[in-house]
């Protein structure tokens, strides 16, 4: 195969790469917008679920073991912390995705 034969294929490869690169950057931009959509709201739900879940578990255990209101208080605090923990995780995940997309 001579260099003359090879040349148009190189050109095609380059154009294909360009076309693909262009497409990917457009995808990345839309992906960024999508993940930036209300990250505060995403994390907020996590906190609310933690507080509600902790209260529910505490109340259920209190009713079962007849220790009201000790476990309710304990699990309300633990649940709030767990909710914040989940919220931090969600935000970290969103930030990591943003970083990967550049």
Partner 1 sequence: MAGPLEQFVIKPIVPLPEVAGLDLSFTNSSLWMGIAVIASYSLVMLGTRHAELVPGRLQSVVELAYEFVASMIRENAGKEGMAYFPAIFTLFMFVLFGNTLGMIPGSFTFTSHIVVTFALAATVFVGVTVLGFVKHGAKFATLFVPQGAPAAILPLLVPIEIISYCVRPISLSVRLFVNMVAGHTMMKVFAGFALGLGVLGVAPLAVTVAITGLEFVIAFLQAYIFTVLTCIYLNDALHLH
Judged by CB under 8 A, the residue of 16, 19, 52, 70 near partner 1 is 52
Whole-angstrom distance, CA of residue 11 vs CA of residue 70: 75
SS3 51: helix
Nearer to partner 1, 5 or 33 (CB): 33
Let me know if 83 is exposed, middle or buried by CB neighbors in 10 A (0-12, 13-18, 19+).
Answer: buried
75: Cβ contacts below 8 Å, ≥ 6 apart: 54, 55, 57, 58, 61
Size of the site for partner 1 (CB under 8 A): 21
Scanning 3-11, 20-28, 43-51, 63-71 for contacts with partner 1 by CB under 8 A, the matching segment is: 43-51
Candidates 31, 32, 53, 98; binder of partner 1 (CB under 8 A) is: 53
Which residues contribute to the site for partner 1 (CB under 8 A)?
A: 34, 37, 42, 45-46, 48-50, 52-54, 57, 75, 78-79, 81-83, 85-86, 93
């Amino acid at each position: 195969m001579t260099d003359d034969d090879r040349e148009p294929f190189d050109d095609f490869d380059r154009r294909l790469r360009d076309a693909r690169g262009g497409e990917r950057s457009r995808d990345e931009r839309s992906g960024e917008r999508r993940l930036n959509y209300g990250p505060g709201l995403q994390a907020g739900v996590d906190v609310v679920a933690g507080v509600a879940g902790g209260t529910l578990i505490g109340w259920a255990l209190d009713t079962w073991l007849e220790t009201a209101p000790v476990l309710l208080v304990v699990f309300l605090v633990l649940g709030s912390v767990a909710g914040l923990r989940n919220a931090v995780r969600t935000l970290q995940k969103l930030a990591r995705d943003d970083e990967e997309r550049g």
